[in-house]
Structure 1
Amino acid sequence: MADGDIPEDANEHCPGTQSESAGKSDACEGCPNQEACATAPKGPDPDLVVIAERMANVKHKILVLSGKGGVGKSTFSAQLSFALAAMNLQIGLLDIDICGPSIPKMLGLEGQEIHQSNLGWSPVYVDDNLGVMSIGFMLPDPDEAVIWRGPRKNGLIKNFLKEVYWYELDFLVVDAPPGTSDEHISIVQCLGATGIDGAIIVTTPQQVSLIDVRKEINFCKKVGVKVLGVVENMSGLCQPLMDFKFMRMTETGEHIDVSERVREYLREKAPELQNLIACSEVFDSSSGGAEKCVGKWMCLFLGRCHWIRSFVRLLKKVDPASLIRNAMSAPALRSS
C-alpha cells in the first residue's frame, strides 16, 4: 500500500483510503477521516478518464476555498471570474456548493436552465466568455432544500465534470462550500490527474475566521493542492460620503434622519467633500488580520476586498485584477 493512501492523522492499522474497507473496518473507529474515507470513491475510477478528456481543453483550474462560511467566498469567486473575463480570457465558473448554491443569485441568473446537446450540458452564459454551472439551475424550486449524503454529492460533482461542455477555457474557477468535506475531497480526486493549479483561500479579518484558514491550508497540503494565497474579504466598508445615512440622536435616545440637511450643507459649504469615499473597519483587525498571519502560514497574501453597498458597486470599485495578477504570477500559473 502506498504511503499516500494513508492520511497523516490516521489510526494505527489504517487500511488505506483506497481500500474497500476504508472507513468501515474496526481500525477506522474514532478516526477523524472515517466519514470521508467511507464515502470517497475506491479503486480505479473509469469516470476519471472521461473527466480527463473533458478537462483537456481547460488550461488552468483554480479552487476558491474558505474555512468558515459567510466570508464572501462565492462573492469573490464571481468577482475573480469577472476580472479574468475582463482580460479577454475564456472563463468557466463551477459552483460545487451543493446544499447552498448562491452563484446563480449573485450573477442574476436565477430561473435559467441547463440545456443539453450532443456535446453535453451547456453552461449558462453571463457573457460570451463567461459560462456558469451550478445545481441552482437544476432545482425546480429555489427554496427547495438539498438534503443529500456524500455519495450523491460526489456523483453530481462528477457529472458536472463529465457532462458539461465548456469548449476551450483559459481558467475554470471552482467555488467550493466552506470547510473540508465530501465536495472538497471529490473535486480534488476528480481533477487531481488533470492538474489543479492551486487554491485561493478567502477569510475575513477577525480571529474566528482566521483560525480556520490554517485548517484549510493543512487540507491543501494533505491533498497536494498548492495554496496560491489568502484573500482578506470584508476588510472594511467603503462608499461615497453622499450615500451615507446621517442620524442625530436626541436626548431621549431617538434617532432622527438628518441626511438631506447634511448633504445640503456639504453642497453649499464644502462641495469639494462631495466626491470623498468614506471607509471604516467592519471587523476588528487589531491583530493584523490575514496579512499578519500569512507569514506564519508560509503563503502569499493576495490583498483585501472591502464591502461595497451593492454587488454591482463591488465589481466596479474593487480592483480584483491586481489580486489576479498576483495569483497568476505564482509558479503554478507562470509555467504556461
Structure 2
Amino acid sequence: MKIQAAVTHGKGEEFKIEEVELAAPKANEVLVKIVATGVCHTDAVARDAAITPLPAVLGHEGAGIVEAVGEGVTRLAKGDHIVLSFAHCGHCDNCLTGHPTVCETFNDLNFGGMHDDHTHRLSKDGQQLSTFFGQSSFGTFAVAHERNVVKVDKDVDLALLGPLGCGIQTGAGTVLNKIKPEFGSTIAIYGAGAVGLSAIMAAKIVGCKTIIVVDVHDSRLELAKELGATHSYNGTKVDVVEKIKKCTNGGTNYAVDTTGVPPVVRQCLQALRPLGVAAIVGFTPEMNIDVHNDLMAEGKTMMGVIEGDSVPNVFIPQLIDYYRAGQFPFDKLVKFYDFAEINEAFEDSKKGLAIKPIVKIS
C-alpha cells in the first residue's frame, strides 16, 4: 500500500515526507494506522550518527489504531487502540525471564533495519528502506510484530500515549522497575528532559523523601519541582556534589543520569552516599572514572538501564493507570506538532524549546 512517511536519506539530513510503499503484515504482525508519534533523542542519534542503515523511516514512539492483523495474531483485533514499543525476540533467556530490554538480539531487531524474518516492509521506487525499532512510526501506517504492540484502553487520548513506548517508559521504569527506591529514601535525577522528569514523577509515586533534580535550564527545574522534585540545582551555577551532600547529610541513596555527559555522570557517582546506586540511561561516550574513589571504596553500584527494564505490555498500562489517577501527569511534558512540522519538532527539542514533542500524523 502507498503511505506517506518521513524518510531519512543520508546522515544528518532533514526528514523528507514522501510517498513510499508499505508491504502487508505477515504472520504475527499487525498493520497500524499511526495517529501520533513522539520525537525521541534516539531518533536524532539515528539520523545524525546513522546507527541504523540509511535510507530509513525512523520513529519509535508510535500510537495508533490497528487496521489489519496477519495470520496467527490473537491478542489484537482491528480497531484496537495501541502503543508501539521496542522490538524483542520473545524467546531468548532474557525475554523469557522478564527482561526483554536486554533481548539477545535487541540491537539487530531495533537498529538493524529489518524485521525479525530479515526482510523489509518499506520501499521507495524499488529501493528498500530500513525499519526502526521494528515499527518506523514516522509514517501514516506501520507494520509491527504483535510482541511490540501494547493494547490500551480507548478512554485516554491516543495522541498523547506514544512517548510511553520509549522515553517516558525509560525514566519511570528505571525507578519503578529497576532501582526500586525504598519509601523515604533520597534520589537525584540528572537531566530534566522527558526521561528525567518521568523519573521524578515515579520517585514521587514510590514515596522518596528527597527528590533532587539537576539541569542547566531554570524553566525545566521549575517544572521538575511542580512534578515532585523537592530540591533543584542549576549545574552551571553551583557545585552540584557539594550542594547534594549538604542537603542530604552525606549524599543520595540513588541517582539516575539521563544526560550521558561524562562530567555529569561522575557527579552522580560522587554525590552518592556509601552503598548508593546509580543508574545510567543516557547515551554516554567513552569516559574515565576513578573506580577506587568513585565506586569501590564506598561500596557503590553503577548500572546501565535500557527502556526502564520494562515489559511494555505490563508496564505501559500501569503508567496509564497512574496518569488517570493524577499521579503521573506526563501530559505536562508534551508539545504537539503537525506531521509537516517534523523537522521543527526536532529542532525545538534540540534547543530545549520542547521537552517531549509529539507529531500528529492523522
Q: Tell me which protein shows more helix as a share of its residues.
A: 1
For the pair shown, the structure with the greater C-alpha radius of gyration is 1
TM-score greater than 0.5 by the shorter chain = no
Q: Which protein, 1 or 2, shows the higher relative CO under an 8 Å CA cutoff with sep ≥ 6?
A: 1
The two structures have a TM-score, normalised by structure 1, of 0.29
TM-score (norm 2): 0.27
- Which structure's residues are more often strand, by fraction? 2
